C-alpha cells in the first residue's frame, strides 16, 4: 500500500515546479520575443496544470520538513545567457511532468495521461523556441522568392531584399556548374548581407560549396535522407510536393518545409496540372512545419489563395519579371503579414 500523503506531496511539488518553469518561458515569449500566440500557449499549459492542482495536494505540503529545500548545485546559481535560462527551465518542466505522469498512476489515470501528453507538447514547444537560427528564420518567412534566369538577377533580388524579403532560392536548370557556382556564391553573400536565408535548388554540392542555408529538392532529385546526411541537421531541406504520398515522404524524411502546388497552371512547371485545393487543405491539416503554396500566384489572386488557408507563398514571375520588384515584394508582404 502506498503512502497517500507522500504521493500527494510529490504531486503538489511537481505541479508547482512545472508551472514555475512555464512562467519563465512565458515571460520570454511575451517580453523577449513579442510572440503573443506562444505566450498564450504557455499560459494555457499553466492553467491546465492548475486544473489538476487539487486542494488535498496543497494540504499535504510540508515545506518545513522538506529536506530538498537546502539542496543546490553550482550550475543552478548562474546562467550564461537567455538560451541557458530557457533550456534549464524546459528541463525543469519536462522532469516535473515525468514525475507527475509516474506518480499520477498511483492516484488518477487521467491525471497521468494528461501529464504524458503535455510533456510531448512541451518537447515540441522547446524544439520551436530553441531551434537553430536557420529554423527560426524559416518560421518567420512568409514570402519565398525563387529566382529565374534574367540579365538583372542581382538587382531584382536586392530590391526584394531591401523591401523585407527574407527567403531566396537560386534556381537555374540550364547553365554549367561553374556558372551556377559563381552566381550562387554571389547571391548567398547578398542574402546574408540582408540577414536572409539562401537556398540552392537541387544541388547539394553547390549549396555546401557556397555555404548556403539549405537546398530544395524535387521529386526526381537526390533522396532526402542522403541529402540530410551530407548537409547535417543545421541546414534546411525543402521538398516539392503535389500529393499526399509525396507529403508523407517529406514528413518521414524530416524535411524542414515543403512547397505545395502548383496552385495554378504555370510555365515554370509546364504541363503539370494544379495540385488542387483538396491537397492544400490536406497539407494544412497534416503538416506542422512551414509550407509554401506555389504556382502562378500573383497579386491578383493572392487574396484567394490566402482565403483557402494558405499562410505562406512562393513566387517566381510575380517578382522576377516585375517592373518594380521591390514594390511588388512590399505588397505581397503586406498581404502575408500575420495578424497578431
Cβ proximity of 330 and 163 under 8 Å: yes
What SS3 string covers 64-95?
CCCHHHHCCCHHHHCCCCHHHHHHHHHHHHHH
What are the phi and psi torsion angles at 216 (to 5°)?
-115, 130
Q: CB-hemisphere CA count at 13 Å for 205?
A: 6
Q: Which of 19, 171, 180, 203 is the catalytic position?
A: 171
Q: Which of 46, 92, 180, 269 is the catalytic position?
A: 269
Residue 64 CB contacts under 8 Å (≥ 6 apart), including other chains: none
Q: Is 269 a catalytic residue?
A: yes
Q: Which of 159, 163, 240, 312 is the catalytic position?
A: 240
With 0-12 CB in 10 A as exposed, 13-18 as middle and 19+ as buried, what is 320? Answer: buried
Distance in angstroms (rounded) separating the CA atoms of residues 98 and 128: 20
Question: Look-up: residue for cell 512545419?
Answer: 289
Q: Is 112 a catalytic residue?
A: no
Q: Is 171 a catalytic residue?
A: yes
Omega before 262 cis (within 30°)? Answer: yes
Residue 227 CB contacts under 8 Å (≥ 6 apart), including other chains: 204, 215, 217, 237
Residue 190 CB contacts under 8 Å (≥ 6 apart), including other chains: 154, 157, 158, 161
State the catalytic residues. 171, 240, 269
Amino acid at each position: 500500500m502506498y503512502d497517500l500523503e507522500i504521493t500527494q506531496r510529490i504531486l503538489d511539488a511537481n505541479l508547482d515546479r512545472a508551472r514555475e518553469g512555464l512562467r519563465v518561458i512565458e515571460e520570454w515569449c511575451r517580453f523577449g520575443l513579442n510572440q503573443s500566440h506562444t505566450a498564450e500557449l504557455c499560459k494555457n499549459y499553466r492553467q491546465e496544470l492548475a486544473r489538476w492542482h487539487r486542494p488535498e495536494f496543497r494540504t499535504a505540503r510540508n515545506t518545513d520538513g522538506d529536506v530538498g529545500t537546502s539542496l543546490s548545485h553550482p550550475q543552478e546559481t548562474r546562467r550564461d545567457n537567455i538560451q541557458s535560462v530557457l533550456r534549464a527551465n524546459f528541463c525543469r518542466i519536462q522532469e516535473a511532468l515525468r514525475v507527475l505522469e509516474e506518480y499520477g498512476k498511483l492516484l488518477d489515470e487521467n491525471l497521468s495521461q494528461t501529464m504524458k501528453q503535455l510533456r510531448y507538447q512541451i518537447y515540441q514547444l522547446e524544439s520551436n523556441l530553441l531551434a537553430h537560427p536557420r529554423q527560426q528564420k524559416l518560421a518567420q518567412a512568409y514570402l519565398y522568392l525563387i529566382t529565374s534566369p534574367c540579365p538583372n538577377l542581382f538587382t531584382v533580388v536586392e530590391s526584394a531584399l531591401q523591401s523585407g524579403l527574407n527567403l531566396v532560392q537560386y534556381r537555374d536548370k540550364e547553365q554549367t556548374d561553374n556558372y551556377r557556382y559563381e552566381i550562387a556564391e554571389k547571391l548567398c553573400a547578398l542574402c546574408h548581407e540582408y540577414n536572409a536565408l539562401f537556398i540552392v535548388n537541387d544541388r547539394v554540392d553547390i549549396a555546401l560549396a557556397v555555404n548556403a542555408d539549405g537546398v530544395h529538392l524535387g521529386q526526381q532529385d537526390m533522396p532526402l535522407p542522403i541529402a540530410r546526411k551530407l548537409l547535417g541537421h543545421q541546414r534546411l531541406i525543402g521538398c516539392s510536393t503535389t500529393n499526399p504520398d509525396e507529403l508523407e515522404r517529406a514528413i518521414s524524411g524530416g524535411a524542414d518545409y515543403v512547397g505545395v502546388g502548383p496552385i495554378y497552371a504555370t510555365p515554370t512547371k509546364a504541363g503539370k496540372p494544379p495540385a488542387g485545393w483538396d491537397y492544400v487543405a490536406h497539407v494544412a491539416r497534416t503538416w506542422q512545419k512551414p509550407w509554401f503554396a506555389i504556382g502562378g500566384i500573383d497579386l491578383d489572386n493572392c487574396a484567394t489563395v490566402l482565403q483557402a488557408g494558405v499562410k505562406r507563398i512562393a513566387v517566381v514571375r510575380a517578382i522576377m519579371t516585375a517592373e518594380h520588384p521591390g514594390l511588388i515584394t512590399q505588397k505581397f508582404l503586406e498581404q502575408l503579414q500575420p495578424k497578431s
